[in-house]
Chains A and B, each alone.
Chain A
Amino acid sequence: MTARFGRTELPDRQARSLKRAERFEWLTLGYLAISIVLVYFVIGSSQAMKAAWIEDLLSLAPPIAFLVAIRIVNRRPTDRYPYGFHRSIGVAHLVAGVALFAMGTFLIVDSAIGLFRLEHPPIGSVQIFGQTIWLGWLMMAVMALTIPLPIYFGRVKMSLAKELHDKVLYADADMNKADWTTAVGTIVGVAGIGIGWWWADAAAALFIAAGILRDGVRNMRSAITDLMDTRATTFDGDRPHPVTAEIDTYLRALPWAAEVGSRVRDEGHVFHVESFIVPRHGRTPSLRKLREARDGCIELDWKVQDIVLVLVDELPEEVGGPVGDRQSERNR
């Protein structure tokens, strides 16, 4: 498989990052499979353990979404999909976000009901190798085991997400970072039961659920706004992506360009760019000049994909043109 996103063949550096990201997602899936089985056997009647287990199950979604999306994105554009398959990332992102949101809501209601009904969770003992020990110790031990790896995975994936401009990977890295808070929260909850604070468990579960819900809302919002063609932002959605300004600056410096404004939308990994250019009076550029300008923009960043240069006599309002009626529909 040549490392590419649609027609964009990835630069070596990004191609290596993509391979590495794939490997880490497979590792994550393996780790989660083990963790899900381990935790399942010690859930008992702890609400916090249940929340942590469901969080583990949900954590499967982003790596799977990433691995599937990477394969779909790899296809070239076709007649039927002239813009390529980049949006599959957006769809994967939305699916992951909605799953998190729904589960966070469910867990919050579930734990709140437990607190409200003053449910006292019973945690008895287990027999291991003929020894009878309190199950709570085992719960805490298993949870402690699930702390170190997600932290490591999260850090690696965060840097790869930045490199590849991949929001699903970012969401996943974010979830891994949340994983250890979940584990610590569960340990606190079970320890709480241990010292007789029956409410500590449900409280810890609420805390975990709130984290899941927050992840869900953030990812859902980010996925929806991307599908709504919000302006391209950095991988973490914090600020406008600098490449928009870079393109404008580059084009404005061309001798034949008078005014320049670009619309840039994030297609998943790569950007679709529409740059409107008002040429200097009497200096309509030749096709060769236009092609050079386009290539110059693509040189700026590998993410610049499907750039379209449009010559207009007046910039559309959204990219810095004068305010007018029904102007953008005509893209003057």
Chain B
Amino acid sequence: MGRIARSLAVIVGAVIALSGCGLAIPADPHGTLDQVRDGSLRVGVSANPPWTDTHDDREPSGIEPRLVQRFADELNAEVEWTEGGESTLVSALERGELDIVIGGILDDTPWVDQAAMTLPYTDSTSEHGDRERHVMLTRMGENAFLVELERFLLGNGGVT
């Protein structure tokens, strides 16, 4: 038992020590949250009304752009919008050129191997009467940013 107790003590000690050094858990390997805070939030929008609407000369509108704008405001960030198709946007997300991709994406999205999915933040009913759960995509493994976004979405739960 001694060895196990020691190993556990080491782990607990290491975690406490690391959080003591001001290291937030979870952290972002690429530092997304740090770059967004007081900086810019790069959002990919694919048109999918009423969740997202894109216009040639104006900023995107719709439920999700409004949510993202409020999230950016909380982090004191400027939003940089990029419009495009889902697959182009997800590729850009993978390369680290975007921080979030929105577009009325559902939790059964095929992009789960390329992008991290937030918790479903709201439900809707499809025209066939199925329950649909809505998520946003963030860059793989940027967990601090992911958790921050999830906190915001769930805290502002539901869509108004």
Contact = CB atoms under 8 A, between A and B. Distances in A.
A212 B142 CA distance: 30
B11 A187 contact: yes
Contact of B27 (A122, A124, A195): A195
Interface residues of B, number: 31
Interface in B132-160: 138-144, 146-147, 150-151, 154-155
B41 to A, nearest CB: 18
A196 B28 contact: yes
Interface string A108-152: 000000000001111111110000101010000000100110010
Interface in B45-63: none
Interface string A181-223: 0001001100101111110000000000000000000000000
A193 B142 CA distance: 10
B106 interface: no
A180 interface: yes
Q: 10 closest Cβ contacts across the A-B interface?
A: A120-B141, A122-B116, A196-B27, A194-B25, A120-B140, A125-B150, A194-B26, A198-B29, A198-B141, A196-B29
Interface of B: 1, 4, 7-8, 11, 14-15, 18, 23, 25-29, 116-119, 138-144, 146-147, 150-151, 154-155
Given A132-B150, A191-B14, A124 B1 contact: no
Contact of A197 (B29, B144, B147): B29
A124 B138 CA distance: 10
Given A122-B117, A134-B147, A194-B27, 12 more contacts: A121-B140, A123-B143, A124-B147, A127-B119, A134-B25, A144-B8, A151-B1, A184-B11, A187-B11, A191-B15, A194-B26, A194-B143
A188 B141 contact: no
A134 B28 CA distance: 13
Given A125-B151, A194-B25, A184 B7 contact: yes
A122 B140 contact: yes
Interface of A: 45, 119-127, 132, 134, 136, 144, 147-148, 151, 180, 184, 187-188, 191, 193-198
B119 A195 contact: no
B140 to A, nearest CB: 4
A151 to B, nearest CB: 6
Contacts of A136: 25-26, 143
A123 B26 contact: yes
A124 B29 contact: no
A47 B51 CA distance: 33
Contact of B26 (A127, A148, A196): A196
Given A187-B11, A195-B25, A124 B118 contact: yes
21 contacts: A119-B140, A120-B29, A122-B143, A123-B143, A124-B119, A124-B147, A125-B119, A125-B151, A126-B119, A127-B154, A132-B150, A132-B154, A132-B155, A147-B8, A184-B4, A184-B11, A188-B11, A194-B15, A194-B25, A194-B26, A194-B27
A48 B118 CA distance: 21
